Structure 1
Amino acid sequence: MPEFDILCFGETMTMFVADEPGNLQHVQHFNKRIAGADSNVAIGFARLGFQVAWLSRVGDDSFGRFILDTLQREKVDCRHVAVDPQHRTGFQMKSREIDGSDPHVEYFRRGSAASYLSPADVHENLLRAKHLHATGIPPALSPTAHELSRHLLTSMRAAGHTISFDPNLRPSLWPSPERMIETINSLAVLADWVMPGLAEGRLLTGYDKPADIAAFYLDQGVKAVAIKLGPEGAYYRSAAGEGVVPGVPVSNVVDTVGAGDAFAVGLVSALLEGFELPQALARGNDFGSRAVQSIGDMEGLPYRHELIEPAQRQLA
């Protein structure tokens, strides 16, 4: 079995995107794609040439086979995806917006195959990956998926491998806001790099300013914090300093879903390649700007040959 550069894990769903704008109840035609924050990031890393292992579960159904076909075409290693004959693959429906606003998404995922993820799904080979990317979605799916998240973060941390964590809050999946905040923060502080959105950071820490949000995590052992500020760019803070990297202007926003995942791909890939934080955030902002110009959650993620480092443009 090979060793991997990056391990990602979580739930991928089949997604039906409306072909025309309007309330979903009136839409007649949809386009079938895949969706899932964690697998979006896995695809993004694979497009940049990283060897990426994907840990998940899908149902033994057409949705599950569609997901596996799509991920494998993207060169994501799916050998550690279990096909569950007893539980179905989750799916979602997403509206089409034409004014740049966030689309409406309806989820059909309760009791899905991925919610049965557990530490028993982890092959020891996966723990040899050089980097783990985690989000706050798997621990919200079920108690066993929460156990899996904690097992992976603690194991990779103990092994000295780097970890990135995106809170990716899904309040509707949690029994209470208090449980969500407590659980997410307890996992985030196991990571090296934490990347909340500004609203997420405020909810999770109780602080308003980016510097204070970052300090909350830095004081508990996180090495660097990047806070997504939307069109304004991103704020960063580490022991070496702090600052804001401006966003990339976009004239036509098509679909905002997936922008945070694209930012994570840009930021983390650059850090893994040895970039300093400001340059890494510049790549993250660039990737985020590409994502919002494409329909679908991962279609705008660039390939390695399409990279023109925003850091190079800024310093030219």
Structure 2
Amino acid sequence: MNNNKLDVVTLGEAMMMFVATKAGELHDVENFVRRAAGAELNVAIGLSRIGLRSGWVSRLGNDSFGRFIQSTLEKENVDYECVLIDAEHPTGFQLKSKAENGTDPTVEYFRKGSAASHLDLTDFNEDYFISARHLHLSGVAAALSSTSYQLSLYAAKWMRNAGKTLSFDPNLRPSLWKSEAEMVEQLNQLAFHANWVLPGLKEGKILTGYDKPEDIADFYLSQGVDVVVIKTGEQGAYYKTSENQKGIVPALRVKHVVDTVGAGDGFAVGVISALLEGEPLQRAVERGNFVGARAIQVIGDSEGLPTKAQLQQEMSLLSPSTSPVFG
């Protein structure tokens, strides 16, 4: 029996998201629906829905956006004991277009000077982090500011030294970095502390300089990473371990793509939850593909993430030897 308070802790920025209700240029849209957004928040919500105990560390402004995100955390049963309410800096927000025909939506961010960008080492509560058996980090939190990066790196080192496991999703945000060289160097430093690294193929090419999934995997495995799983889009995912276990898991075909944002977070939810539950790596990657496919069929970053019951029921209908249409 696991006596830890949490299964997973993560840290990062949450933003209020306004999603256009009709397709077209954002400046022409009159009506939006509100959602909570944020890569690490999406993962925390997804893990909680599947039945794992997740906690999220951040800063929110003392404003209506921040209170909406708090209410979302409560509804999703995500622990936010170590979320600081910042009276001086606002909660960030974003506008997102309604995409059609599976294209990526346009997103405009309003996050400069946000509460979360002021995350620093004072946000690291040892008692809280030690209460979790796993830490999940992404490149978004690392990109917010130099102090947020320092917090991410400190948390990674501290948790590994404490005998915890760590997953890392690069989740590249080039516009938030001073240069691509800085982004590559700093994110790889984080990745090298992880047990499980989960890049997309394009991200892997940028971060390692290699084109082939196996070469990208070998780059991280040579630095002490245990498992590398590379998202290869319509081809599915490639995985390789430090013990030379490797394979390809085909993607699930989707009838109608509604919103591609959040697919990578859904993939992370699937892989992390399965590995923490003791599932074999092949099954974990299958679950990652499944949750990622589910996420892209609804508006919003986390609305398509399944409950435990939905996960079990819907995955039981999939044949392990085929790539059925999903949706």
- TM-score, reference length from structure 2: 0.94
Separation in 2, partners of 1:278, 1:311: 17
Match of 1:299 in 2: 303
1:311 deviates by 9.8
Residue pair 1:279, 1:311 contacting (<8 A) in 2 also = no
- 2:94 corresponds, among 74, 92, 95, to 92
1:99-110 alignment runs, 5 A limit: 99-110=101-112
3-state DSSP class of the match of 2:320?
A: helix
Output one character per residue of 1:185-214: Cα deviation in whole Å (capped at 9) or x when no partner.
011010000000000000000000000000
Conservation of the 8 A alpha-carbon contact between 1:132 and 1:156: yes
User: What is the CA distance between 1:179 and its match in structure 2?
Assistant: 0.3
List runs of 5+ in structure 1 lacking aligned partners: none
Matched, 1:254 2:265: no
d(CA) in 2 for partners of 1:174, 1:120 = 23
Cα distance change on mapping 1:250 and 1:59 into 2, 3 Å: same
Partner of 2:20: 18
- 2:233 aligned residue (230, 250, 258): 230
CA distance in 1, matches of 2:244, 2:187: 25
Closer/same/farther in 2, CA of residues 263 and 226 from structure 1, 3 Å limit:
same
Corresponding letter in the other structure for 1:44 = G
Which residue in the other structure is 1:280 paired with? 284
- List per-residue Cα deviations over 1:53-96 (Å, max 9, x = no partner): 11000000000001111111100011111000000000000000
Please tell me whether residue 313 in structure 1 is matched to residue 319 in structure 2: yes
Aligned to 1:144: 147
Letter in 2 for 1:297: D
Matched positions, count: 316
Report what 1:135 is aligned to: 138
Secondary structure of 1:175's counterpart equals coil
Between the aligned residues of both structures, percent identity stands at 54
Aligned partner of 2:192 among 184, 189, 193: 189
- Residue identity in the other structure for 1:120: T
Normalising to structure 1: TM-score of the pair?
0.98
- Point out where structure 2 has 5 or more consecutive residues left out of the alignment: 323-327
Residue 119 of structure 1 deviates from its aligned partner by 1.3
Spell out, residue by residue over 1:164-202, the C-alpha distance to the aligned partner (whole angstroms, 9 max, x if none).
000000000000000000000011010000000000000
Matching residue's letter, 2:120: S
Aligned residue in 1 for 2:119: 117
Within 1, Cα distance between the matches of 2:133 and 2:117?
A: 26
253, 269, 272: which is aligned to 2:273? 269
Alpha-carbon displacement from aligned partner over 1:265-296 (angstroms, at most 9, x marks no partner): 00010011111111110000000110011110
* Alpha-carbon offset, residue 310 of structure 1: 6.1
Conserved? CA contact 1:7–1:131, under 8 Å: yes
Partners of 1:240 and 1:130 lie apart in 2 by 25
The answer as to whether partners of 1:282 and 1:310 remain within 8 angstroms in 2 is no
Q: How far apart in 1 are the matches of 2:124 and 2:83?
A: 10
Matches within 5 A, 1:41-52: 41-52=43-54
